[in-house]
Structure 1
């Protein structure tokens, strides 16, 4: 498919709005190849208090992203009353800064707990299907989309010609997730605390569920040079005791082994949830270094000093922020830069590497990474 048709029945939606006198939404289906759209700047962020000022949208628009990904907590609903959740989505949709961004680039979205409906909720949330419907309404999902008829909100997208192909994978860490295991004693302090939760010893406890795991394995085998995998909660950072894949150690290890088994090159993780920003690196990785960019919050940061993350690269950024991944396709070996930017659009955290670094080496070890 060489161009994006005006009318396309999708299985997952992005909003592609042309900057004309009126906003016009177009959609790209889950799995669709947008061959002529080369991604060179991928923006992302999480945790939007829809009832608070959101000046950061102006900086995001000025950064001119080719695409923007909302990583969850896109509104703070925390309700089983769907009329309230709808009002909150409508409030975000009406924000002038958000509308500016919507008019300039496609927006993709997954969800986290507060827009799902309850703090730290998983599959036990009784209104998960109704909440999904409200998200799809907010995204203007076409009525014929398969996403209305399947569980969860995961999806994938391909952009660019073969030599510049970027795959965006959105995971759903809510709809299928088993209950968390609470610690016997809650932390006393807010600052520097090690969360409420402990790792499950039961290896059958899941985050993604078998249907999503099967889809992910197939999706990772689609050819692409760079794969951006969005997970609403952190995957590499696993020891802070708040929500993290580390609370489900068998699932975390399964993810690493799946990347190795499928020999999926170019994987970079993006995450939100934590109300601060940081870069993480898994060593020895998955046959190559695995990086994660955590961007949170767009307008509601929190300063929890001494937050535990032995995989952290550099420092933590505690102010409002958004993430940006830039790819310099003009280089023979394209440079990939992972950035956190502040409310003025200036980079405050950054790590760059050649794309060739994110490739499985023929001599790479197949040893298991469990740390």
Structure 2
């Protein structure tokens, strides 16, 4: 009798212990980990948890172990983890019910790393059991304003169905930083529902393509474009505008948002690596609709962000520790029909400002763009303001060409990204040079450009866009589901006639292609 009583007690204890164990936070509760906001002494981590998780902030701890130099003793940096900040309610903001719900996201910020210019191994750990949930590595740059060489990769435009191989290839480039220039996903959300935007991030980050993207093991700087901000060609009137801002703040390991905590602000940000100032502008959340009449008040940037952008250009140019400015401008700068072509007054305002303040001379301004599903380069010879323009897309979407002309050509297609080697000549007046390579995972390098030595990368196949009517018809043809009979023949005949007529009106150049 005593034996059976003891056995019953033991079984009850084991059952209770097993149930308690299941109630504890488990490694499987963590779905993804995203790194970003890299500086010489800091980096941010955000990670997503499954629905119904039982994890508390105190369940996690993050360690960073630097590679040791000869004679150094083992040491590490430690960060505790906490809930994320979705910003504060703006004046007149209409909130969805889900905006009050706590997101399934935590963040851990390493803010006082012991070394710059050092490789670290990190481990996200369950404090109770000591189990490592995620691990990887990152390298801190030299102190801001210091001269050193490094590599950046960038690209845009992918979705859950994209080929993961493009991210596997980018990982092999061993970049210090990856800059994502928009269209992280294509959910095209036109609803004021925070839950829908959270699902959008979770969907891409847990997909095969998203997992491969995070497994590149490189910190991000990310600025949205239209499809990940809202619907196609979205602007400040998008129904989910503030919901999108809230979820960006929650999910993305971003640099400080200088516009403030209000969700009615834009998400513009800037940072410095070496002697390069990176300026990321938000071209969606303060944008006037494309269809609004042309007027000086029609804006991409919005009044507040535009004033900040201008001051950033002036401040960076006058800073003796900055020798190059990279403007992350997510849509084509060269486009007389769409994109910046919808905002010719504001574009000219910026060009006039650059000229009036003597900018883009001793400290060059280089544009980094996405949106158009192509690799493309313009050396400044066709660009408003003579700004060098570097495009890289599409990571995973079908190819397309937008804008132009492009001095070094335009190459549409999926599986594309860019590698940019940053080389600093050193010294007070030494230049910071960029060597851009536009890569296709199936075809290799398609285009290259050296900002300091353009003679080494001459223009071989310039691209000139067809006339605007032809572009419109080509887009109509592409979007149409099918053409039959006479209608197809008539449209094709009109396109051929317009192309033929445009070629007769333009001098022949055997190097041009379109």
TM-score bucket (shorter structure): 0.7 to 0.9
Q: Which residue of 2 is the match for residue 93 of structure 1? A: 205
Q: Secondary structure at the match of 2:434?
A: strand
Partner in structure 2 of residue 363 of structure 1: none
Structure 1 residue corresponding to 2:304, chosen from 211, 214, 218? 211
Residue 83 of structure 1: aligned partner: 195
2:164 equivalent to 1:60: no
Match of 1:293 in 2: 390
Whole-angstrom distance in 2 between the partners of 1:140 and 1:323: 22
Q: Aligned with 2:409: secondary structure? A: strand
For the Cα contact (< 8 Å) 1:333–1:356, is it kept in 2? no
Mapped partners of 2:327, 2:135: distance in 1: 28
Change (3 A) 1:203 1:15: farther
CA distance in 1, matches of 2:254, 2:367: 25
Hey, what's the Cα distance between the residues in 2 that align with 1:323 and 1:329?
Answer: 19
Which residue is 2:417 aligned to? 322
What's the CA shift string for 1:26-57, capped at 9, x where partnerless?
A: 9xxxxxx7457956212111111134432211
CA drift of 1:316 comes to: 2.2
2:268 paired with 1:154: yes
Question: Does 2:42 align with 1:4?
Answer: yes
Higher relative contact order (CA 8 A, sep 6+): 1
User: Any conservation in 2 of the 1:45–1:272 contact (CA below 8 Å)?
Assistant: yes
Segment drifting more, 168-177 vs 5-14: 5-14
Check 1:261–1:129 CA distance in 2 against 1; reply closer, same or farther (3 A cut). Answer: same
Q: Distance in 2 between matches of 1:345 and 1:86?
A: 36
**CA-to-partner distance for each residue in 1:132-189, whole Å, 9 max, x for gaps?**
11112221469999753360111110112xxxx011110111011111128xxxxxxx
Matched ranges for 1:330-345 at <5 A: 333-343=431-441
CA contact (8 A) 1:15 1:107 kept: no
SS at match of 1:310: coil
Aligned to 1:246: 341
Q: Residue in 2 aligned with 1:277? A: 375
Deviations 1:217-244 (A, max 9, x none): 1111222211111111111x213x34x1
CA distance in 2, matches of 1:320, 1:355: 28
For the Cα contact (< 8 Å) 2:382–2:405, is it kept in 1?
no
- Alignment partners' CA distance in 1, 2:120 and 2:200: 24
Q: 1:24 to 1:247 in 2, by over 3 A?
A: farther
Cα distance, 1:312 vs. partner? 3.8
Counterpart of 1:326 in 2: which secondary structure?
strand
Partner of 2:405: 310
Distance change in 2, residues 1:100/1:318 (3 Å): same
Q: Which has the higher helix share?
A: 2
**Maintained 8 Å contact 1:48/1:73:** yes
- Consecutive unaligned residues in structure 1, runs of 5 or more: 27-32, 183-199, 358-371
> What is the count of residue pairs matched by the alignment?
323
Q: TM-score, normalised by structure 2?
A: 0.55
Report how far residue 257 of structure 1 moved.
2.2
User: Please, which moves more after superposition, 50-59 or 142-151?
Assistant: 142-151
**Structure 1 residues 112 and 143 mapped into 2: Cα distance closer, same or farther (>3 Å)?**
closer
Taking a change above 3 Å as real, the CA distance of residues 269 and 303 of structure 1, as seen in their structure-2 partners, is closer
C-alpha displacement at 1:213, in angstroms? 1.0
User: Is the 1:67–1:107 Cα contact (8 Å) retained in structure 2?
Assistant: yes
Partner of 1:179 in structure 2?
289
Q: CA 1:204/1:330 → structure 2, altered by over 3 Å: closer, same or farther?
A: closer
Q: TM-score, normalised by structure 1?
A: 0.75
**How far apart in 1 are the matches of 2:40 and 2:256?**
25
How many angstroms apart in 2 are the aligned matches of 1:55 and 1:238? 31
2:494 is matched with none
* 1:195 alignment counterpart: none
> SS of 1:327's equivalent?
strand
2:249 match: secondary structure? helix
Shift of residue 335, structure 1, vs aligned partner: 3.8
**2:247 counterpart residue number:** 134
Between the aligned partners of 1:277 and 1:14, the Cα distance in structure 2 is 35
Which protein shows a greater Rg? 2
8 Å CA contact 1:41, 1:327 repeated in 2: yes
Structure 1 residues 98, 148: CA separation in 2 closer, same or farther (over 3 Å shift)?
farther
Structure 2 unaligned regions, length at least 5: 1-38, 44-76, 88-106, 111-118, 125-133, 138-142, 456-514
Matched position secondary structure for 1:148 = coil
Residues 232-281 of structure 1 show CA distances to partners (whole Å, capped at 9, x for unaligned) of: 1111x213x34x11111011112222322342422110111112221123
Q: Within 1, Cα distance between the matches of 2:425 and 2:167?
A: 28
Contact 1:56 1:343 in 2 (8 A): yes
